[in-house]
Amino acid sequence: MASNVRVRRPATPPPGLPHVTPSSHKYPPIRQDHLSADERREAASKGYGPGQRSHSPGGLSITSGEWKLLAVVLLIAIGVRMFRISKPDSVVFDEVHFGKFAARYIKTRYFVDVHPPLAKLLITAAAFIFGFNGDFDFKEIGKVFENAPYVAMRMVPATFGVATIPIAYLTLRALDCRATTALLASIFLTFENGLITQSRHILLDSPLVFFTALTVFFFVGFSNEDKKESFTTEWWTWHILTGLSLGAVVSCKWVGLFTIATVGVCTILRLWLLLGDLRVSPRMWAKHFFARAVCLILIPILFYMTMFQLHFLILGSSGEGDAFMSSEFRQTLGRGMEDTYADVALGSDITIRHLNTQGGYLHSHLHNYPGGSSQQQITLYPHKDDNNLWRVLNATVDSYEQYDYEHKPIVYIDHGSRIKLRHIVTDKALHSHEVRPPISDVDFQNEVSAYGMAGFVGDINDDWVVEIEKGDSSDKESSKRLRTLRTHFKLRHLNTGCYLFSHKVKLPEWGFEQQEVTCNKNAVKANSLWYVETAAKHPQLPTDAPKVNYKIPGFLSKFWELQQVMWTTNAGLTDRHMYDSRPLTWPRLRRGINFWVKDHRQIYLIGNPFVWWSSTASVITYMIVRGFLLLRAKRGYRDFDNTKVVKYDSLCGFLFVGYCMHYFPFFLMGLLLNCAVFDLATSTLRPKIRLQIAAILMIIAIITYSKFSSLTYGNPWTKKKCTNAQWVKTWDFACNEFFDEYSQYSGVTVPTLNRTTPVATIGGEPGGRAAIVVEDKLGQDGAALPEDEHGTAVPIGVPEPGRDVFAKDKQQEIKSQRIALPDAPVVNVDEKEISVVAFEPTSAASEVVAEEKEDVKVQAGDVSATGEPKDQAHPEVIGILEKENEVKLDVDDHRKSHGPLDHEEAIADQVAHELYPEARDTE
C-alpha cells in the first residue's frame, strides 16, 4: 500500500519571498554541536550521551517547575526542624559545653576545646545579637534557661539543617540524576530523625553536615566545568568556592579532614588522567596542578587560620583554658609577668616550673602523705603562691657547712653543680629516698617529699645535681649556667640516681588533686625537664643586673601550640562507658544516644531506620555489583563501554569513596549513594512509574519518622508505644519514664533533681565507685517539695550524656603560712573511707555534689517500679550525694573499681551489701 502513496513536493513559497533551492534541503549546514567519532568515544568514557549537550553553569540545569517544587520541600523542612524548637526550655546534652563556650566568647575568657572555632563563633554571634550577656552558665543537663536567648542559638544549627536539604537536591541534579531522584533525597533528609535531632539543639554537627554537603556540591560543579573547559571564569569560581567550603568544614570539626581527603583522592585521580593524556602538554599539566594546590590546599588553610585569628582576638582575657597553654602563651591573656632577674646563684630565691605538662610550679605545703614516708607533700600547683618559693643552697662542703652567699663572692649554678632546694615557707628540703610514691607505686619510681626542720642542715638524700639540657640561642650563657626562663635542666638525685619527674597524674583529695611529683629512675626526658621562672634579687647582684621575661609569641606560635594541645587532648579521649556507640554498630543503627530525660519525656538521637538501613543496603549493593562487573571485565566482557554503566559507575563510585573516607558516620554520602542506586534501578522505567515508586518510598520514610518523632522532639509518649518502637533490642529507650496514657500528661508537675527530698547514699569512697543516692522510701524526713525548682539527671539504664574534657576542677589553694605548724596527722594506709546510708535533703546535696565533683547522675520520676504514678504530694527522686564516713576495709578492696548498676533491684542489692558486709563475705 505504501507504493500507492504519492509523495508531495515541497510547497511553493508565497510571493515576495526568495525561492529555496532543493540543494539547501539536500545538504543542511553542519550543526555546531556535532561530534566526531573520537569525540563521541571520549564523551562516552566521561558518561556523556551520544551528542554534545548545552552546558549550564556547573552542569546544573534546573527548570522553573523544579525551583517551585524545591521551595515547597524547603517550607516542609522549615516546619519539621523549627517545630517547637523552644522545647525543652532546659539544657540538652552537649548544650552544656557549646552553650558555655558561647558564654566564654562573650565574656572574652580564654578556653580550650578539641573542635575548631567556626561553628561556635556562629552560635555566639546569634547569642550576642539577641542580647546574651554570658551570665547563664549551662552548668548541667536539665537546667532551665534564664536570661539566655537559647531559641536564637538553636536557630543557627536549625537553619544549617534546613539549608542542607536544597544543597542535596542540587548536588544530585548536578550529578545528572533525575529530578525524581533528587526529590527523593530531599524528602529522605527532611524526615531523617537523627539529623533533625542534631539540628534542633546548640550543637556543632548541623553546621558540619551543611558545609560538607556544600563542599560536595561545589566540587561537583567544578568537575562539570572542568570537563567542559578549563581556566574559564566559571571554572575558577567553582574552584575557589570549593576551597572556601573545604576551609569551613574543617573549621567546624576535624572530621572535616575526611571531606578534604575525599576531594583530594578525586583530584589526584583527575591529575593522573591528565598526565596520561597526550593532548595535555607538561606546561598545561603543571598549570592544572598549581591551580588545584592553591584552591584546594592554600585557600582552606588560610580560611582555617583566619578562624583561629578571630578566636584569639575575641578571647583576650584569662580563663579556664589557661592551664593547658604554655607560660609564654599565657602572657597574651592579660596575665603578664613582671621582669625577673636573669642570673641564678647560691642563695637565690626562685620558682621552678615543669616544662612539658603545664602542671605548674614545684610546690609544697603543710600536709603530709597518708602513706609511704608520711613526710610533707611535694606537688605541682598551677597557680602562683608563696608555697612555690625555693632557696638554692650549696651541698658540696663537708659536714654541710652553708656557703655565706650574703658576704662571699657570688657563685652561679653551672652544669654539674650539687645543690639543695630549701622550701622557704616550711623550712624543709626537697628530699627523695627508696620509698614508693603513693600513686605511681612501681619499682623505678621513688617518693619525693619535703624533709627537715629549722636548724637541721639535712642529709645526703637532700642533694641534687643540676644537669643543663639546653639553653636559648639568644643567650649563650644559658647553655653554660642556670639562667631564668632560658635554661632547661634536669635534677638528678645524688644518692639514688633518679630524676625529678612529673606527669599528668593527679593526687586524690588528700593531695588537693594537684599533680604528682616523683623521682624516676627511667624518666622520660620530656617529663624530667624544668626551668626557673622567677628569681628574686640576689644580695650580691648589682641594682642594674640584667632582667628577662617571657618572649611574647606571635600568631603562628600561638596557632601551632593550640593545635598541639587540641590534638593531644583529642587523642587522649579513650574512655568508654556502657552506653557508648562503637563504629561497627553504626551501619546497622544498633544504638542511639540519650540526649535528655525529664518530665516523663525523652530526647534520643536515633536515625530514621528505613532511610538508614536502605542507605547501608545501597552501599553493600554497589560493592557487590562493582565486584561482579570487575569479574566480567576479567572474562572479556566490555560492560564499561556502555555509556550508562560508565555514568553510574562514576557517580556511585564518587559517593562510595566519600562514604569510605569518612567511614560509616558519614551518613550524608550514604544517603546520596542510596538515591543514586535508585536512579540506576529506575532508569529504564517510565517517569510516571518512577515517580510512583519514589512516592511509596517517601511515604514509608515519613511514616517511620512519625513513629520516632516523640524521641526527636521530646513529646509525650506512652510506655506501650515506646516498647513497640524498640525494633532492635539494643535500642535502650527509657520506656519506663513515660506514662501509660497520654491523659496523664495533663497538668502533671514532675519532680526533678533540685527538689528537696530525703535521700540515702551508698558508695562514694575515695578511689572507688561514685556515690549512688537512693530515695528515702521510709519517709523519715518528710520535707515538702518546692514547686518552682527544675533540674534533670540521667535515669538508671539510660545512656549518660557527653562531658567537657576541658572542664578544669577548681584547685584548692594552699596559702603560705609562715608560722610553723605541727605536722598533719598521718592517715593509716590500711584504712579506707566508704559511705554508709545517710539521709539528707537534696538541696544540701547539691552543694556537696558541686564540691566533690560527682560523676554519675541518676534520676527517677514519680513512677514506681510497676509503672503506676505515685502520690504527687510525695514524689520520689533519685539524686546524687557524697557523704564520707571512715570504715576499715582491706587494701585490695580499696583498689577495686566499682560502678553504678542499671536497675533498682541491683541498687537494692548494693544497699544490702553495704549494710551487711559480713553477709557478703560469707557468700
Number of H helices, E strands in the chain: 25, 21
**pLDDT(360) > 90:** no
**pLDDT(236) > 90:** yes
pLDDT band at 731 (very low <50, low <70, confident <90, very high): confident
**pLDDT(827) > 70:** no
Closest CA to 291 of 258, 244, 243: 243
Within 8 A by CB and 6+ apart from 704, the residues are 191, 608, 609, 610, 611
**pLDDT(164) > 90:** yes
Given its phi and psi angles, is residue 315 left (phi above 0), alpha (psi -120 to 50 degrees) or beta?
beta
Q: Span 486-499, mean pLDDT?
A: 91
Within 8 A by CB and 6+ apart from 159, the residues are none
Give me the helices (H) in 736-828, please: none
Q: Determine which of 382-391, 501-510, 739-748, 844-853 has the lowest per-residue pLDDT on average.
A: 844-853
**pLDDT(478) > 50:** yes
pLDDT at position 242 is 95
pLDDT at position 43 is 61
Q: What does the alpha-carbon distance between residue 422 and residue 394 come to, in Å, rounded to a whole number? A: 10
pLDDT at position 118 is 95
Cell of 179: 529530578
Bridge-based pairing state of the strands 418-423 and 464-470: antiparallel
Closest CA to 160 of 263, 63, 248, 68: 248
Q: Span 40-64, mean pLDDT?
A: 64
**pLDDT(542) > 60:** yes
Closest CA to 491 of 412, 576, 421, 593: 421
pLDDT tens track for 445-463: 899 999 888 777 778 888 8
pLDDT band at 489 (very low <50, low <70, confident <90, very high): very high
Check residues 881 and 240 and name the one with the higher pLDDT. 240
pLDDT at position 120 is 94
**pLDDT(306) > 90:** yes
**pLDDT(839) > 70:** no
pLDDT at position 654 is 77
pLDDT at position 161 is 93
Q: Determine which of 269-278, 320-329, 849-858 has the lowest per-residue pLDDT on average.
A: 849-858
Whether residue 259 contacts residue 665, with contact meaning beta carbons closer than 8 Å, is answered with no
Assign 299 to helix, strand or coil: helix
pLDDT tens track for 683-723: 778 888 888 888 888 898 888 888 888 888 888 888 888 88
pLDDT tens track for 784-815: 434 443 333 334 344 444 444 444 444 444 44
Q: Span 605-622, mean pLDDT?
A: 84
DSSP-assigned states of every residue in 334-392 = T-PPPPEESB-BTT-EEEEEESSS---EEEEEEEE-SSTT--EEEEEESS--GGG-EEE
pLDDT at position 298 is 95
pLDDT at position 107 is 92
pLDDT at position 110 is 92
Q: What is the percentage of the chain residues whose pLDDT exceeds 90?
A: 26
Cell of 814: 594552699
**pLDDT(257) > 70:** yes
* C-beta neighbour count of 620 within 10 angstroms: 10
pLDDT tens track for 2-50: 445 555 555 555 555 455 455 444 445 555 455 555 566 566 555 555 4
pLDDT band at 653 (very low <50, low <70, confident <90, very high): confident
What type of residue is 577?
Answer: H
Q: Determine which of 467-476, 531-540, 570-579, 709-718 has the lowest per-residue pLDDT on average.
A: 570-579
* C-beta neighbour count of 295 within 10 angstroms: 21
Within 8 A by CB and 6+ apart from 897, the residues are 768, 769
pLDDT tens track for 463-473: 899 999 988 88
Print burial letters for 321-336: b (CB count within 10 Å at least 16), e (below 16): bbbbbbbbbbbbbeee
The three state secondary structure string of 187-226 is HHHHCCHHHHHHHCCCCCHHHHHHHHHHHHHHHHHHHHHH
Geometric angle at alpha carbon 440, from 439 and 443, rounded to 5°: 135
Handedness of CA 470, 476, 480, 481 (dihedral sign): negative
Q: What is the percentage of the chain residues whose pLDDT exceeds 70?
A: 71
Q: Determine which of 36-40, 189-193, 294-298, 501-505 has the lowest per-residue pLDDT on average.
A: 36-40
pLDDT band at 557 (very low <50, low <70, confident <90, very high): very high
pLDDT at position 897 is 36
Q: Determine which of 229-233, 286-290, 757-761 has the lowest per-residue pLDDT on average.
A: 757-761
Q: What does the alpha-carbon distance between residue 331 and residue 692 come to, in Å, rounded to a whole number? A: 66
pLDDT band at 400 (very low <50, low <70, confident <90, very high): low
Handedness of CA 714, 720, 724, 730 (dihedral sign): positive
Cell of 324: 593547658
Q: Span 192-210, mean pLDDT?
A: 91
Handedness of CA 123, 125, 130, 135 (dihedral sign): positive
Q: Span 388-405, mean pLDDT?
A: 76
Q: Span 884-907, mean pLDDT?
A: 41
Q: What does the alpha-carbon distance between residue 212 and residue 256 come to, in Å, rounded to a whole number? A: 7
* C-beta neighbour count of 883 within 10 angstroms: 20
Whether residue 75 contacts residue 583, with contact meaning beta carbons closer than 8 Å, is answered with no
- Report field, pTM of the whole predicted structure over 0.85: no
Give me the helices (H) in 253-356, please: 256-275, 282-293, 299-314, 327-330
**pLDDT(294) > 90:** yes
Whether residue 145 contacts residue 175, with contact meaning beta carbons closer than 8 Å, is answered with no
**pLDDT(215) > 90:** yes
pLDDT at position 238 is 94
**pLDDT(667) > 60:** no
Q: With both helix axes pointing from N to C terminus, report the angle between 667-681 and 643-661 in degrees, rounded to the nearest 10.
A: 160
Round the average pLDDT of the chain to a whole number and report it. Answer: 76
Check residues 622 and 359 and name the one with the higher pLDDT. 622
Q: Span 841-868, mean pLDDT?
A: 38
Check residues 513 and 873 and name the one with the higher pLDDT. 513
Q: Span 432-443, mean pLDDT?
A: 86
